[in-house]
Structure 1
Amino acid sequence: MLRLGLLLLVVPAVLLMAGYMYDLSLADACLEQGGSWDYRAARCDEAGAAHPFTPFMVRHPLWVNGGMLLSVVGLLLCIAGLYRRR
């Protein structure tokens, strides 16, 4: 139970960070090219139109909320696994 808990505690957080960093790198590459990143459509607009910033949580609520829920379940499984061993 402890191993499953640790897996559920760590993997969703790492995947969320990887998704966020990938999204950030796409937007940064677009800005370096002189474009404007359209967060809603996830594409670079070369025309130079200004697009408003939309947070990652707003664009991917299921990923963020689901990942955090899995991490909390993993934490509870870790606590139960450590409690049961003693």
Structure 2
Amino acid sequence: MPNRETLETIARSRTVSAELVLTNLAELRAYPYRHLAIAARRGVGQEPVTYAMMAAETLAPYGWELLNVAEFGSSRVVYAFLRRR
């Protein structure tokens, strides 16, 4: 990925890429907020909705609950919105 995602950048944007979650590179234990969005971009080999859902499922055992999945306009990004229990 072009921009390196660190805990600081994830916390600032409150968004993490599905790719980072699915490759087990997202360190979210110290994430300071209750809500988080997972961004799944088109062209990653899976449908972006499927990719976002897979990432949300990956975080479920760590206390994250899927609230909603949405794509806004023609942004080419699907977001999964989660809440930490």
TM-score w.r.t. structure 1 length?
0.28
Q: Which has the higher contact order (CA 8 A, sep 6+)?
A: 1
Greater percentage in helix: 1
TM-score w.r.t. structure 2 length?
0.28
Greater percentage in strand: 2
Bigger Rg, which one? 1
